Amino acid sequence: MQPKKLFLSGGCWCSYPSVTPDNWKTAKASIRKAWRIHYRFYDPKITDPKTGKVKPKQVTIQSMNKYTDLKQRQAATQFLIEDTVHMLTRESYHPVKKEVATPALVITIPRDTPFDTALLMAMEKMQGADSTRRDLRCVLNYVLPALRHFRMDIMEIQEVESHHIVALLDGMQKEWKVINRLGEKTYVNKAKPGPFSDAKYNRYRANLQLAFKVLKKYGAIKHNPITGEDVEERKVAKEVRQVLTKEERKRIKTHLAEENPVFGRFVEIFFHSSGRRTELLAMKVKDVDLINQTYRVLVKKGGLYKYQERTIKNIAVPLWREQIKEALPDDYVFSRRLVPGPAMIREDQIDKRWRRWVKSPLGITSDFYTLKHGNTSELVDSLGDEAAAQQAGHTSTAMVVSIYDHSRKQREHERLKRANNAF
């Protein structure tokens, strides 16, 4: 039986965290309304100046509401309660000061945690770019129903071995129609999922591997079951990516200048920047230096966060100047409606605009991100691999050579044609 009150360090105390709605653990709990965990925190040093009595702080947690599946929300709520109690009692977390009184300890994930709950906990603990967690969430929207379908959800996470992962992914590939129907209620992108191809198999494998890496870090498992040759990647033929031609780019520029000049400006700035969408959307006006023609972005890669300065081309200066004129320093350069503002937007909004304003009306088949490939190839042509890699924020030329320089194969083909080595 849980206590009504928790006695904490420094003479503080709080009520035990409770949940609204009261029936949140039952199958009848509604997910139409927002749930919340709430408790009152008391610090004897924080008093009401009028009465002199200890002034309580009402603390509310609602992050479980991002889950639209009942079982997922229940699992997330249970985890948040346990995590909150641990932070208050073991790490002396002070919700008013928002700090811990002692060095933070690693919060372990119990080894007897059910398979599906453990994966949700791993996602909550995952660090790095928001897109990494978002990708894992999209995968779990189908993996969790699959675990229940194959009756693997009740397995303890410590029991999961490589052959279980192989069986899970093979089963999802074999029964993809059933799994798609089960996952449709929680699928975040609303796109109609297709067959479970080998490419999708590899994507699910990669995301689960990241989740198990987190679980190993927090003590839930002793080894990552998705390493080595036990759960092999499927061999997939690499498709040649369609890159926009110069003629297509001219058509797009003319069309957007008439139909949506604001999006047209973003498209051109992105093309000339050689940056990533996530970096540009997270950039603030104060990060742009038009005098020295540089902009600064926060690069989240490989678990490391670091700022990098990139060059603004002469040809792009008027575009940047028009974009940030009259904007405040703390505004995001590209906020709602792609104009400066206080809110950061999601990168999928760019894809939606690309489909609406470019693909549909012009019959363009290339994706938005191929703009980066085209610019990189042209930079390599004029400046070389190293300059193109530096502008794109890569530490070596490997990515430029293997991924972004789309014209490299054609250049090598032309060079080989001119070879004069006689017999």
pLDDT band at 133 (very low <50, low <70, confident <90, very high): confident
- pLDDT over 60 (residue 179): yes
- pLDDT over 60 (residue 392): no
H/E/C letters for each residue in 365-414?
CCCCCHHHHHHHHHHHHHHCHHHHHHHHCCCCCHHHHHHHCCCHHHHHHH
351-380: per-residue pLDDT in tens? 999 999 999 999 998 888 888 766 666 655
Average pLDDT, the chain: 83
379: CB partners within 8 A, 6+ apart = 274, 387, 388, 391
Q: Which residues of 304-339 are buried (b: 16+ CB within 10 A; e: fewer)?
A: eeeeeebbbbeebeebbeebbeebeeebbbbbeebb
268-297: per-residue pLDDT in tens? 999 888 788 888 999 999 999 999 999 998
- The residue with greater pLDDT, 68 or 128, is 68
Q: Which domains, and CATH codes, for the chain?
A: 5-100 (no CATH), 115-217 (no CATH), 246-413 (1.10.443.10)
